């Protein structure tokens, strides 16, 4: 298929035409007569977004999300690749389960789905999962995480780091000291004291990060810190990077802008793990995004059935959805931060996550020959976020009713338009064939 994208501003620069032929970018004027021309006047062209942290729930919790519905949501959000966390039922702790998720993603064809394997069997933190078998599987797993649970045993964490180092794998840690957070319902601070809710101290996150960066440096392994949420965590990561540790870190859009003051409403949509922190923490996270201490913005998309959120605070599940609104929320959160432009969006939401996750077809620039994973963004599309207008099964979006001005116009997955003018089109036509490029 030959496609001409006419007049797009690549990374916010001058308007130019982008040509796609057979799934790759072509020299301008070389692709011949296009089968499809997309008018991109006023639109920004970015490399397809890559989300390093999503929960697609399948297998086992298809009432919350499926690979199909989550992939559709990803495409609408401009994501051409997502990495699916292991806390499914059964847990993605064997080659069989990660291959199931990988094949479901291939067959869906809306985005590239790469499974993340569990670090420990059943996420129970007592013995290592089948790390080598998952790495050797068709899914080719390279990132392992017990997300939702912390690998709290330091010896087990060391062994995991040593094991994955052998094939340049990576451990993605959910930093939460379990004994310090027993029964915790929100950030520990002034608001938790006033509301009488058990608090979750910042030190519970920071202590695990401090331990793990030392372990990672000791064994020379790769460590990724999931959903960083405190100013103290930023300082520890900054220090570790200054010592040459192989550390990367992510932040979510919601931790960049939302604070624990919202818990005063007792609306469970604001209940999340790690919890919303203070305004000072959010400001430190935004600065860390600007100065490169934080490498990736990832959504931690965590859909739940309505009954798990429409209940009293203490009984509610933790988690928020976010793939379809991530780009708009990031732009909203960073709007007053000087120096944050479209190239920074591409770095944090495409190039860095693709590089860290080892996805060779993703995160490219716009040079001829590169895989045509592209998102077109309308920076002047004011609208109100409405969870009902979602491809995801989850409606637990904390930004419901928020006014934003950025919208995804079109998403091209390996040269195929899966979204045009904000509407889902059709999955990649080769998704069920051996020629599928993923």
Quote the CA–CA distance of 93 and 100 in Å, as a whole number. 12
Decide the pairing of beta strands 36-39 and 44-47.
unpaired
Q: Which of 300, 343, 378, 386 is catalytic?
A: 300
277-309 burial code (b ≥16 CB/10 A, e <16): bbeebbebbbebbbeebbbbbbbbbbbbbeebb
Q: Which residues are annotated as part of the binding site for Zn(2+)? A: 53, 55, 147, 174, 227, 300
For Cα atoms 412, 418, 424, give the angle at the middle one, nearest 5 degrees: 140
Distances (CA, A) of 349 to 51, 99, 187, 362, 434: 7, 25, 27, 11, 29
Which neighbouring-strand residues pair with 4? Answer: 19, 37
Q: Decide if 16 contacts 47 (C-beta within 8 A).
A: no
Q: Which residues are annotated as part of the binding site for substrate? A: 55-57, 87, 273, 304
DSSP code, position 351: I
Q: Kindly calculate the radius of gyration of the chain based on its CA atoms and give it in whole angstroms.
A: 21
User: What DSSP assignment string belongs to 201-218?
Assistant: -HHHHHHHHHHHHHHHHH
Is residue 300 annotated as part of the catalytic site, yes or no? yes
For Cα atoms 319, 380, 386, give the angle at the middle one, nearest 5 degrees: 35
Quote the CA–CA distance of 417 and 375 in Å, as a whole number. 10
Three-class secondary structure of residue 21 per DSSP: strand
Q: Which residues are annotated as part of the binding site? A: 53, 55-57, 87, 147, 174, 227, 273, 300, 304
- Return the closest-CA partner of residue 84 out of 2, 158, 144, 137: 144
Residues in the chain: 438
Quote the CA–CA distance of 437 and 358 in Å, as a whole number. 15
- Return the closest-CA partner of residue 246 out of 175, 351, 164: 164
Quote the CA–CA distance of 292 and 222 in Å, as a whole number. 17
Distances (CA, A) of 3 to 35, 38, 181, 323: 6, 8, 52, 26
Catalytically active residues are 300
């Amino acid at each position: 298929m030959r496609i001409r994208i006419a007049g797009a501003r690549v990374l916010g620069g001058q308007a130019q035409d982008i040509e796609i032929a057979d799934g790759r970018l072509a020299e301008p004027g070389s692709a011949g007569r296009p089968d499809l021309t997309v008018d991109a006047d006023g639109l920004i062209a970015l490399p397809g977004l890559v989300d390093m942290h999503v929960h697609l729930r399948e297998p086992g919790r298809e009432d919350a999300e499926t690979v199909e519905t989550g992939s559709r949501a990803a495409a609408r959000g401009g994501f051409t690749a997502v990495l699916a966390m292991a806390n499914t039922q059964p847990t993605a702790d064997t080659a069989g389960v990660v291959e199931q998720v990988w094949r479901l993603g291939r067959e869906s064809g809306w985005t590239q789905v790469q499974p993340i394997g569990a670090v420990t069997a059943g996420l129970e933190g007592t013995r290592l999962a089948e790390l080598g078998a998952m790495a050797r599987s068709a899914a080719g797993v390279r990132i392992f995480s017990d997300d939702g649970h912390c690998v709290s045993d330091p010896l087990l964490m060391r062994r995991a780091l040593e094991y994955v180092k052998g094939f340049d794998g990576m451990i993605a840690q959910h930093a939460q000291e379990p004994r310090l957070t027993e029964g915790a319902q929100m950030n520990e601070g002034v608001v938790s004291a006033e509301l009488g809710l058990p608090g979750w101290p910042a030190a519970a996150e920071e202590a695990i990060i401090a331990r793990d960066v030392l372990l990672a440096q000791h064994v020379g392994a790769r460590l990724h810190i999931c959903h960083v949420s405190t100013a103290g965590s930023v300082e520890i990561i900054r220090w570790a990077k200054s010592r040459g540790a192989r550390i990367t870190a992510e932040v979510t859009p919601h931790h960049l802008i939302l604070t624990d003051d919202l818990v005063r409403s007792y609306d469970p949509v604001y209940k999340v793990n790690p919890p919303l922190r203070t305004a000072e923490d959010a400001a430190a996270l935004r600065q860390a995004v600007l100065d490169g201490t934080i490498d990736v913005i990832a959504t931690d998309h965590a859909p739940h059935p309505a009954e798990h959120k429409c209940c009293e605070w203490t009984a509610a599940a933790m988690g928020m959805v976010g793939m379809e609104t991530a780009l708009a929320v990031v732009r909203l959160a960073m709007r007053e931060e000087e120096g944050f432009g479209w190239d920074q969006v591409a770095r944090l939401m495409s190039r860095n996550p693709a590089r860290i996750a080892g996805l060779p077809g993703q995160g490219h620039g716009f040079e001829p020959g590169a895989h045509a994973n592209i998102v077109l963004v309308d920076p002047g599309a004011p609208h109100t976020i409405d969870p009902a207008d979602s491809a995801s099964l989850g409606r637990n979006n904390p930004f419901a009713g928020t006014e934003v001005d950025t919208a995804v116009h079109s998403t091209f997955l390996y040269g195929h338009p899966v979204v045009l003018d904000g509407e889902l089109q059709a999955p990649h036509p080769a998704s069920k064939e051996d020629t599928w490029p993923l």
